[in-house]
Amino acid sequence: MSSVPTFLSQQARQVAQSLLTAIEGTRAVVVATADGFDLVQVGYSGVEASRLAAMVSSFAALGDAASRESGLGTPRCLVIDSTDGRLMVRCMQVRDHAIIVVVVTDKTALLGLVWNHLAAAEKAMNAE
């Protein structure tokens, strides 16, 4: 079981809820620790947060390895563009804690908008 500070779980819930509300076409938001534990899930209940958290932590780590291998530094965002929607994965550093925010959208959600909201969410979490 993951042990993360209470403040982080609370911030994660607020961020997840605000992303769900703010971005049209969002089906669910999951916030996970970098080692694959789900902290928060909001939105569509058909998403199994514990499994998705483990999966996104794996490919966030793979993205990080590939990015370093390519001399590109630390990845900020990964996108899985699928036939029926997208997974947008943002790797965030909130103070000393690495977390991953996953936004599950349908095809109507605007990629740039999701990107902007995720970047703003990271700023807001670090400003609190």
Footprint of another protein (CB under 8 A): 1-4, 33-37, 50-51, 54-55, 57-62, 64-65, 69, 98
- Would you state the structure tokens that stand for residue 119, as one six-digit string? 């970047």
15 or 32: CB nearest another protein:
32
- Nearest distance from residue 69's CB to another protein, in Å? 7
- Nearest distance from residue 87's CB to another protein, in Å? 15
DSSP classification of residue 95: T
Dihedral Cα 58, 61, 10, 37, nearest 10 deg: 30
4 or 79: CB nearest another protein:
4
1 or 127: CB nearest another protein:
1
Of 2, 25, 33, 13, the closest CA to residue 97 belongs to 33
CB burial readout 84-117, b (16+ within 10 A) else e: ebbbbbbbbebeebebbbbbbbeeebeeeebbeb
- Nearest distance from residue 53's CB to another protein, in Å? 8
- Nearest distance from residue 37's CB to another protein, in Å? 6
54 or 77: CB nearest another protein:
54
Query: CB–CB of 59/71 below 8 Å?
Result: no
